[in-house]
């Protein structure tokens, strides 16, 4: 199995070293190099790779923050000059965590680990599948908070962050509303550029607004037709 590889690192010498390691590894192909995480995020909107060699300390957006924005199945090897982020990187299911300067033998072990992981079909235990259908884990700061879908009233966008609102809490997470929308179950509807609502929690719809408790949420023209179709499916 040959793996395509993206390098994301703001240090030219580190990039040069990794490019050399990839050339020496028979089953890796160097596809592209990005010099900061925002560049990588944009490139990945229209491209895919099997493996990302990702530096942690970069301008604008750290490697840790970028990994949290990527699909869960994306294979990532973190590279950094600091050992402080090891625990957090493994919590994000990184393939490996390499300290700079990265030696070839250590890099090769990580690459082989990534290939084995990508060749192994993912297991789908019934208990885990059930948990994913009823709840979600939200990374807020350094905490991972488990929230039941049924407890979420609505979600509001705040630039590059979202606020997940329940009856008892407001959880702020670094994530785009568009990305979060794709992982939510059918009971949620996008009703505005800045809002997703749990239809099970709606108390009333008046003109161009939704009422959830005392919160009044606008419905934009872009989403109005689709939203009302879902409401009318349950109309008496």
Structure tokens that stand for 107 in this block: 């890099």
Give the global pTM.
Answer: 0.52
Look at residue 90 in the predicted model and tell me its pLDDT: 55
Q: Give yes or no for a contact between 8 and 55, defined as CB atoms under 8 angstroms apart.
A: yes
Give CB contacts under 8 A, 24+ apart, made by 128-133. 133/185
Which domains does the chain carry? 3-119 (3.40.50.2300), 128-232 (2.40.50.1020)
pLDDT classification of 86: cutoffs 50, 70, 90? low
Of 204 and 130, more confident? 204
Look at residue 93 in the predicted model and tell me its pLDDT: 79
| Cα torsion angle, 18, 20, 21, 23, sign | positive
pLDDT beyond 90 at 202? yes
Q: In this predicted model, what pLDDT tens digit does every residue of 156-192 receive, in sequence order?
A: 998 889 999 999 999 998 888 888 887 788 899 999 9
Going by C-alpha positions, the residue among 42, 69, 45, 39 that lies closest to residue 174 is 69
Does the N-terminal peptide bond of residue 65 adopt cis geometry, omega within 30 degrees of 0?
no
What does residue 57 show for φ and ψ, rounded to 5 degrees?
-90, 100
Give the single-character DSSP code of 67. H
C-alpha to C-alpha distance for 48 and 73, rounded to whole angstroms: 12
């Amino acid at each position: 199995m040959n793996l395509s590889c993206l390098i994301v690192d703001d240090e030219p010498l580190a990039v040069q070293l990794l490019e050399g390691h990839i050339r020496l590894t028979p089953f890796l192909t160097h596809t592209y190099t990005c010099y900061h995480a925002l560049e990588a995020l944009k490139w990945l909107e229209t491209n895919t790779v099997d493996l990302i060699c990702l530096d942690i300390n970069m301008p604008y957006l750290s490697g840790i923050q970028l990994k949290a924005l990527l699909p869960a199945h994306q294979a990532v090897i973190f590279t950094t000059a600091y050992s402080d982020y090891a625990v957090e990187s493994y919590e994000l299911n990184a393939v490996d965590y390499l300290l700079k300067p990265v030696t070839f033998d250590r890099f090769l072990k990580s690459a082989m680990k990534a290939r084995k992981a990508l060749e192994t079909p993912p297991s789908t235990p019934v208990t885990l599948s059930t948990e994913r259908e009823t709840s979600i884990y939200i990374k807020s700061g350094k905490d991972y908070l488990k929230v039941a879908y049924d407890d979420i009233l609505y979600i509001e966008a705040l630039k590059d962050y979202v606020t997940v609102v329940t009856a008892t809490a407001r959880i702020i997470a670094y994530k785009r509303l568009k990305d979060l929308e794709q992982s939510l179950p059918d009971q949620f509807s996008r009703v505005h550029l800045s809002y997703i609502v749990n239809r099970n929690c709606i108390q009333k719809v008046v003109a161009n607004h939704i009422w959830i408790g005392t919160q009044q949420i606008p419905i934009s023209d872009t989403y109005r037709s689709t939203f009302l179709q879902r409401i009318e499916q349950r109309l008496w």
